[in-house]
Amino acid sequence: MSSSLDTVSNITPSRTEVERSPSRIAPIWTKLRGLVLAILFPIAMLIIWHLLTYGRKYSLIPSPTDVALSLYDLAFGGINDDAYSQSLMTHLLASVSRVYGGFAIAAIAAVPLGLMIGRIPLIRSLLDPTLQIMRPVPVTAWLPLSMIMFGLGPRSAFFLVCLGAFYPILVNTIFGVRSVDPRLFGAASMLGCQGPAQFFRVVLPASLPAIFTGLRLGLGFAWVVIVVGEMTGVQTGLGAIIMEARQLSRTEIIISGMIIIGVAGFLSDRMVMWLGKSLLRWSPNFV
Measured distance CA(203)–CA(217) in Å, rounded = 21
- What's the predicted TM-score (pTM) here? 0.80
- Alpha-helical segments (H) within the chain: 2-11, 15-53, 64-76, 88-119, 121-134, 139-150, 154-178, 182-190, 197-198, 204-229, 238-247, 251-279
Torsion of CA 140, 88, 250, 164, to 10 degrees: -10
Q: What is the pLDDT of residues 195-230, one digit of tens each?
A: 676 677 777 788 888 899 999 999 999 999 998 888
- Does residue 7 surpass a pLDDT of 70? no
Q: What is the pLDDT of residues 124-182, one digit of tens each?
A: 999 989 999 999 998 889 988 888 888 888 888 899 999 999 999 999 999 988 887 77
Average pLDDT of the chain, as a whole number: 83
- Express as a percent the part of the chain with pLDDT over 70: 83
Q: Which residues contact 175 (CB under 8 A, 6 or more apart)?
A: 118, 210
Average pLDDT over residues 67-74: 91
Half-sphere exposure of 92 (CA within 13 A, CB side): 17
Q: What is the pLDDT of residues 243-280, one digit of tens each?
A: 888 888 889 999 999 999 999 999 999 999 888 888 87
The whole-number pLDDT of residue 18 equals 47
Measured distance CA(117)–CA(120) in Å, rounded = 6
